[in-house]
Structure formats: C-alpha cells, structure tokens
Structure 1
C-alpha cells in the first residue's frame, strides 16, 4: 500500500503544480486589470476562478499527459527510462513558455482588448520589427522582470515539491496496469472536461455579462492552443445561427433596402481625381465634431467646415488588415479571420482601385512602412494599383520611426508624383505615425508622460501633415478637380481608455469628403446617417455613376432612404448599432456583452441581434467562397 501511496504522491504533486501555474497565470491577468473589477467587487475574483476551473484542469492534464505516458512505458520498456533530469528539463521548457505567454498576454490585452491569439503570434512572425514597435508603447521592464521572477520562483517551487520522491515504486505488473488505467481515465476526463457530447471549449468558462470577467475566466493557454489545433476556419464558420439561407437573407435584406431615386449628387463632376487618405487609428474621440476632445485635430475641423462630414461612421473591426479591406473592397470583417491573409481569396475580392483603374485612372498607393505587411502589396497590385511606394523606396537618411518613414516625408513624395501625373488619377496613402509606440522626433504637442498624451500628439502631427499637404495642393492645377477622402482604418482605446472592445465608441471613426469638386450648397454638410466604413465605396461610386453591384456589403450613405444601421466586429464578438439601440454579442460565450439602452424592448433587441447574426453568418459564407 505504501508503494501505491508513493506513486500517487508523485502524480498528485506534479498535477497540483501545473494547476497552481494555471492559477498564477489568471492572477497575473486579474492583477494587471483589477480596475475593471474594482475593489468593491473583489468577490468576483472567486467566481472567475471557479468558472475557469474546468479549463485549468484540462491544461494541467494536457501538460502532465506526456510525462505520464513515458513514466508508465518505462515500467515495460526499461530502455526509455529518462529519469528525473528529463522531467526537470521538460518542466522548465513548458514553464518558460507558459510564464512568458502570461506576461505577453497582458500587453496584448491592454492594446487589443483580446487575449493572445494565433493572429497575434502570426503577426510577430510576419513582421517582428513591427510587432516590437507596437510593444514599445506598453510597459516592458516590469513584464520582463515579472517573467524572470515568475520562472525562477515557479521552478524553485517545482523542485521543492518533487524533492525526495522515489520514482517507479511498484513491482507488480497488475498494480502498474491498474494505476495506469486509473490515471488515464482521470487524465482523459480532465482533458475533455466530462463525458457529454460537447467537448470542452472556452465558452465553458463564460458566466458573466461583463466581457472582462469572461476573458479572465478563460485559461489563456487553453484558448491559444485550441486556435492552433482547431480545424481551419477557411472552410468552417464560427457563426452558425440560421440553417436556411433564405432566412438569413430575409433578415439582412432591410439593411440594404433603399430607394435609388432618393440619391443626392454632391459633386460637380463624375470623374474627379481622387486622393484617399486612410488614417491609422483615428478614432472619433480625437475629433471635436464627432464628440471628441477639443484642440487635438484643429485642421480637420477646418476641413469639416468646408467639406462633408459623415459623423456616425463605424469601423468594420479593430485592426488595420480588416480596415484596409473594408475601405478598398467594401467587405466587412470576418471576426477571427482576415481575408487579406489569403492571397488566393483576396485576389477574388472586388476592389475600388481595380474598377477605377479600368475607367482610365492612373493609380498609386503610398505607405511609410512595409507594404508586404498584412499582404497589402499583393492586395493592391492585384486590384488595379499600378505603383506602390513604401519604406523601401526612401533613402536611409529619411526621417523614420520604428514602423517606417515619417508621414510628412511620404506625403511630400506623393505630392511630387501627383504633380507629374496625368489626370484623372486615384492616389491613396495609408498613414503611419499614429500607431503604437506613438513616437515623434520633433516634440509632443500634449507631452509624452503617458500613452494617451503621446497618442494625442501623434494625432495632432497627422492632422497638421494632412493640412500641410492640402494647402500645398491648393496651389496646383490638379487641385480644383480633386476629391479628397479621409477615413480611419479603425478606432482605438485611446485617448480616453473608457471603452473596451465591446463598446461602439471604440469603433467610431471619421469619414470626410473634401475639395472644390463638392458643390457649394453641400460644403459644411453633416450626414448624420449611421453607417460603416465599407459603405464608402458605394457612396463614392454613386457620385461617379459607377454601378456598385459587386459590393454587396456597401451602401450609399448620401441616400436618405438608406437604413440607419452599422455593424462592428472583433475576434470573439460582434455588434449592431441603430439610432435606438446598440448591442454586442459574444459568439464564444453565446451571450450579450454590451447593451446601450437597457429600457429598450427585449423583443426588439433580440430582433436586432438576429440581424447581426445573419449578417455575419452571410459575410463568413462569402469569405469561405472566395
């Protein structure tokens, strides 16, 4: 009996150690964002741990499975006895990966509002320099110190727990087999989370209407590994709500219902030159006319007074790869996927550059960073863009940030090229400096004492660079026949840091039409219709007399009969916005995680959610078909 007790002691201690590491990971995450729970609600921490317990047990069992298997094989095949040293090495390697992931996850969550994911890791391998640049705006010294302390103390604890234990205590084959069978059953039970038909998944930990509580409850490493080992989402949709396509189309149809005869025409010509400026991270809170802070973007206010402001526009998603597709192809975000990653898919998308190029326009795209990032280069070149100018086209002495060449340098290059270009032309530029780590070489307008002020300062810089470009353009012959379009790629948590990834304000962005080609009667006009950045394509094409039938998901914002509705999307949730209600839905936990108007009819709210569910199910069906 004592031999059996000794054997069980080894397994119990090793499993308990890894369960403790799972608890430690959650403690690091909660401590980093405890303000989201609040000192008055500290008992919520116990609920978080309780609801995450099944995933913790599963992760601990997964880690223990390999040593468990080799341990029992060594009873029958003495040659494979690896001993304590092999277990120590295995434990240390997994421990380092685990603790490093825990601290990296905190920084990613602070910036993205989502925990570490396959997408984040893929971004590092795709552009390690860019990923490092993003990390510069978040604390680095403390996480690195935390990693070192966490690894050392945890490994010390492991050695302490396993010290003095004797291995392979049993000498009867029957006892070994029985113990192996018992251990295998327990291991399988923990890994699978039970014996129901549905396997364990992250939604098991969801229990609250507060998104952060659910995110904290989900075991970080479990969710990450599930992403890597789940079947490809290229052919399997995460949105499966309505089996009948007719039902989905019936729900979505009112969103796109509009009377074409109600369209208004605000341009003096159907063939203007077009300069499209895509503004990095330009959330509405930066712009006074959008309800944002005063004084951050004074020049944009001048453009608004002379142009057309669409003041209720929302980004399709939270990252640039999805925003670029939303702007140029009028295609909504696909939640956990990004169509621009797949060249074989994005080549089949329609895109405004391609259709405008076919009308005889000369086309070019400018970006101070690497155009290969997010496959922007392949996307642009396969969709009618004749020439790309990026970081590689500028000399080594040009002013650069960690992401690439400064925006004022890129604007200057574009201005020189336009001066030599034949009309009509379609030139686009994607700005750079208003991105983490928000660095400037010539001083910070609002100081650099914190991320929020650095963000305000880089936004102020972008605002001034745009105005400088436009003022110089006014002196050129091509200016009087040019439409300038300003739109953000996505919103941001800064400068207010009030809104998490489920809140509509996080996605509120500017869309501005500006230029002498706007009829005088419409200059200074504010369009209050709720819409998305992907509606920009159809809106522009309507003004140019170009059919927008290829852009199923894009609508004319200048048509008063267009429905007032917008959609927003992140990795794990999606939302819908109307004048009376905004609601966000977590498709992992299958629950509402944001509700703007709590007095609004629950029946009507459910109806809105059904529209959003059908919308994203159809969007993803299109993604899989491309």
Structure 2
C-alpha cells in the first residue's frame, strides 16, 4: 500500500513510524482522559479541543523524533541501500528508538499517578539524579517485568512494521535527491516552526487543568521544561515599578518593634524584642517529607495514621491554617530557611550563587549556635549539601567523602553503615536519621554548645518502605503506612529525647516540606498546600492553636518572637502574633505564583497573565472573579521584590 505514495519507498519505515507514534500518543491521551474522567471537562468543545491540541503537539514531537532518521535516509548513498551495513544500522536504531519511546510512554503513566501531570520540571530534575530515581523505580515497580514488557511491545511493533513491508521497501528503493530534500526540508520546516513559535503553554488553554495537561505531549513537555528551568521575573510576569513594589512590601512587613535600616530597594530591618531576657534553647527542626494536613485526625482524617502528631497538636503551638509555598522539598527548604516567597523557575536551593545568604541560620549563628543539617540520603541530591554547607551548616548524610567544594568551608560527615538499620532508594529510615541526630546533640551538649539541628526525613516517599514490625501496616503497601511509620519514628524520637539531659532546654519544631500531592483540576489546588506545623516543648502557658492563615515563611519569625530574640531580618515572613500581622499565604509552582488572602486567590502566570478567584472550601474549587487591581499589585509586589533581591545578590 505504501508504494502508492510518491514519497514512499526509502522513507516507508519513517512514515509508518510516524503513524505509529501518532496513534500511540492518541491512545495514551485517551487513557489519561478516561483515568481522570471524574475531573476533566466533558463539554463537547473541551473534549474535541483536548484531542486536537494533543494531536498538534504530537506532530511537533514526532517531527523532532524523526530528525536523526531523516538525516540518515537523506544522506546515505543510494549504492549502499540494502547492504548489510544499511540493514544493521536501520534495524538497530529503529529498535532502540521504539524501545526508548515505549519506556517513556510507560513512564508517563507512573508520572501521572504521582503528580497528575505530564512531564514537567520535576521530571527534568529527576533525570539529573539517576541513582535515586533508578533505585526508586526498582523498589517501587517490578523492573524485570517492566523491562520485559517494554521489550515484548517493542518486538510487537517491529513485527507490525515488518508485516506492513516497511523494512523491505526501505531496503529496496532508492530515492532521488529532490525527493529526499523535499521530505527532509518538510520535516525540518515543521520542527523549526515548533521551535521558533510554539511554546508548551499553548496547551494550557482550559480553565480545567486536567484538560490542558492531557492536551500536552509528555516528551514535548519534558524538553520544554528543560529549556525553561530558570525564568527572569520581569521577562515572564506582569510587573510594576520597583519603588512601588518595595514600598508596598515594606508597608506589609512593618511592625511596631521593627525598623528598616535602608531606604533603598531592601526589606532589611532590625527587630527588637522588649523582653528583659531572651531564651537560648536548643532547637531540633524537623522537615517532614510529604506530610499533608489531610493525613492528620486534627484535620478530619479517620485512618488513625498520625496518632502521635495528633497528640502533639494538643500540647504545642499548633498552626492549623498554614500553607506550603510549593510542591517540592527544595521549595520547603527555601521557605523555612530564607523566609521568602517562591521565585519563578528553580528553587534558590538549586540555583548558582546561593551560598552566604542571610538565612535563619544567620540568626542562630549570631546567637552562638552550632548548626547541623541531617539527611538520610546523599545530600548531593537536589543540591542540598551545597546549599546548606554554603550557608553555615555542618552536613550529616549518606554520601561519601568529606569535602563539598573549596568554596564551602564546612564539615561533611558520613553516616556510617553500622548506624543504619534500614535503607531504601531515598535514604535511611526516619528512626536511623533521628538516632544520628540524637548522638550529635549529645556531643554538642557535652561541649556546652547550643545546637540548631535541621533534620530532613525521607520515609514518607515512594516506594513507602520502612522497617518491618514497627507498625500495623506492612512495609511497601502504600502512603498510609509510610505516614504512620514516620509518626511512629517521631514518637520514638521524643521517647529517647526525654531521657537526655538537654531535653528540657530544647524546642522541637515540626513542619511538612510540602503536601503528598499538589495537582487538581484548577490552576492551583489550594487544599494541596495545606500542611501542619507545630512548636513543641515550650512552657505550657504558650501552647495554643493558631488559626490565622499563614505560610511556611512565617514559622521562624514567629519562633524567634516566642524566644524573645532581637535580630536583623531580610525575611518576608512575619511573626503571626504581631498585632499588625495580615493573614495571607504565598504559594506556587515553578511557573504559577499565588497570593491567597482568606478566600481570595490571585494567580500570576508566565506570559504576563493573571487570574483572580474566590476559593470555595466546600468543593475545593476556584471561581473566577473580576480583576482587583490593588490585589494584583500586592501579589506582583511580593514576588517581584523577592526575585529582585536574589537576582541582584542583595540577600547575601
């Protein structure tokens, strides 16, 4: 049948490959649409557009995928067509290409299961850290079965191509130069059009986020994210004059006990506490992996998976209306250490020139504390060691070696094998990392040095494996078990810590880095940013539940207030107990920047777009509102000033 086409023959295999790719991409899109059937828009126009936009991006994707084969078929001499060399090269690279694509198609389903999104910035990040990701895949999925399945499907596709005569025609027909150049030029022209004029954001046409995501091509989205890993605020987002932006933010940050030390573009100020004496307690800060607020009984969960945390909520300073700034661990780290709104693109934790910043550790070090960062995996992941080491923390992780870089003057300590009872792809179990922290705390207490110990947990992460026999949910069976194990490990930490001589003079601060999931049908799923936070082991008279809407960036300014500390601040966060505190939360993705005040939500998008909504708590949905210019200016000001300060190295 292919012989009927003027340009078939030598290019038969290429044409049938393109047809297979488009059909397979359609079936994947149909599968995702069915998977998310309860959340997508079923309006006939939306359904039609979902698949037509999808086809449009699939054409662009296959035009790129075809370029290596086009180069070969165009410039391979006619006299060698059908030779053994020709057959070996064509069969090998066709097999390899199909195998990789089928594997990528499988990966799209696993990525969707985790993030409810096509490949994005997270997928780009994961590609960098192959050890953790490959190990996670091995522990989460039956890898031999997966690879075997991909191999069988690859063989089936090749057999289909063979039966359709694509290989025999490719090896039997020559092509004249004008035929070759027309086909080569046609594909290259299409690829050029997509490169020069078509951005992945074209697929974001629907108010229903799921329809937009399903419209995308996963492979196209991956490379679009790879190209746009850093975004300059003023190039991509609506802005105002810098003096106007800083004036507004400074007004929001002003409080009776603070004084700005500069009239320039700055938020630097001195905060003075009037108490006669300041507390100097040890601090154990625990950033818990993926601890959604919805996991706690305090917020309505009936599965009893956080009994210890629920008990702590009754005897702590408990933040019941606090929101994460982002959807990644590095965003949580950025928020709690820099107390800054999420800047577009990469988290500051992963950016160049992020050492020697003014962080919360600057405050602790000025008070004479020794600061330590504990991570159960290799801190090379997500640039954690470079960031924490470059900002004054001693490092304790499972990586090998003692030197971080010549520019980072800190100590890296390996967690030894004999200190580990259980380990998976992401690191040692939470009990082990807590035990290591306890040992280090003992050491500094014996030296009469106050310590600030920052612990990042790992157990509440796929593959959800942990030591057996600890809780009543078998290891590796799902998220509930991982959450319950983390809760158990925290109980054990407190049980052991209470036996330490330093416990009475130690405050424990516990907060999630982000929620377990972030995606919903709206631009921003507000409920999936709600996280628990608590300050434990303060005097009983301080214990209370704070229902003010606030953010991760407010945690340490509030803590410093409870300690009655006077300090310098470059922080955008604020003490929630201050009478001037205005309830708000700053949340986002690497592209969406959001200000939420009560039930009003302003979302800034790249391409200088913005949308204003009311948030309906009952059905967790956003309802469009007419634009509010003052609200928009405030939203712009928070993010524009944060980006300005980091970009211009004014957070040093």
TM-score using structure 2 length: 0.81
Offset, 1:312: 1.2
Residue 7 of structure 2 is aligned to residue 7 of structure 1? yes
The one of 379, 382, 399 equivalent to 1:371 is 379
Matched, 1:315 2:337: no
Secondary structure of the equivalent of 2:417? Answer: coil
Counterpart among 217, 233, 238 of residue 241 in structure 1: 238
Is it true that 1:462 corresponds to 2:486 in the alignment? Answer: yes
Give the 5 Å matches for 1:231-310: 233=230, 239-242=236-239, 244-246=241-243, 248-249=245-246, 255-256=252-253, 258-260=255-257, 269-293=278-302, 295-310=304-319
Q: Which stretch of the first structure deviates more once superposed, 143-152 or 604-613?
A: 604-613
Tell me whether 1:473 sits opposite 2:497 in the alignment.
yes
Question: 1:410 is matched with which residue?
Answer: 433
CA distance in 2, matches of 1:446, 1:583: 43
1:358 counterpart = 2:380: no
Q: Does 1:439 align with 2:465?
A: yes
Structure 2 Cα separation of the partners of residues 606 and 20 of structure 1:
50
| Aligned equivalent of 1:490 | 514
Which ranges of structure 1 fall in alignment gaps of 5 or more residues? Answer: none
User: Alpha carbon RMSD of aligned pairs, Å?
Assistant: 4.0
Post-superposition shift, 1:302? 2.4
Residues 49-60 of structure 1 correspond to what in structure 2 (within 5 A)? 49-60=51-62
Name the structure 2 match of 1:567.
586
Q: How far 1:309 moved relative to its partner?
A: 0.7
1:208 aligns with one of 206, 210, 214 = 206
How far, CA to CA, are the matches of 1:364 and 1:302 in structure 2? 28
Query: Would the aligned equivalents of 1:499 and 1:506 in 2 still touch at CA under 8 Å?
Result: no
Per-residue CA deviations over 1:62-103 (Å, capped at 9, x if unaligned) read 233343344344469989997454333333222222221121
Unaligned 5+ segments in structure 2 are: 259-270, 400-413
Cα deviation, residue 260, structure 1: 4.2
**TM-score, reference length from structure 1:** 0.84
SS in 2 for 1:596: strand
Which whole-Å deviations, capped at 9, do the CAs of 1:558-610 have from their partners, x for residues lacking one?
22422211122224434332212246565479576986347967225676556
Secondary structure, aligned partner of 2:483? helix
Distance 2:464 2:180 in 1: 56
Q: Could you tell me how far apart the structure 2 residues matched to 1:609 and 1:146 are?
A: 51
Distance in 2, matches of 1:423 and 1:68, equals 67
CA distance in 2, matches of 1:214, 1:419: 53
Report the more deviating stretch, 29-38 or 218-227.
29-38
Name the structure with the higher helix share.
Answer: 1
Give per-residue Cα distances to partners, 1:109-148, cap 9 Å, x unaligned: 3223443346535434435135522663467677545523
SS of residue paired to 1:346 = coil
Q: Distance in 1 between matches of 2:221 and 2:512?
A: 30
8 Å contact from structure 1 (residues 326, 533) kept in 2: yes
User: Residue 254 of structure 1 contacts residue 563 of structure 1 at CA under 8 Å; is this kept in 2?
Assistant: no
1:268-320 per-residue CA deviation (whole Å, 9 max, x = no partner) reads 84322212111111110111223444622222222222211111111121121
Q: 1:181 to 1:265 in 2, by over 3 A?
A: farther
Given the superposition, is the C-alpha separation of residues 367 and 266 from structure 1 closer, same or farther in structure 2, using an over 3 Å criterion?
Answer: farther
What is aligned with 2:34?
Answer: 34
> Which of the residues 165, 168, 177 maps onto 2:169?
165
Change (3 A) 1:68 1:569: same
SS at match of 1:349: coil
Q: Once the 2 structures are TM-superposed, how far is the Cα of residue 347 of structure 1 from its aligned partner? A: 0.4
CA contact (8 A) 1:282 1:489 kept: yes
**1:479 positional shift:** 2.6
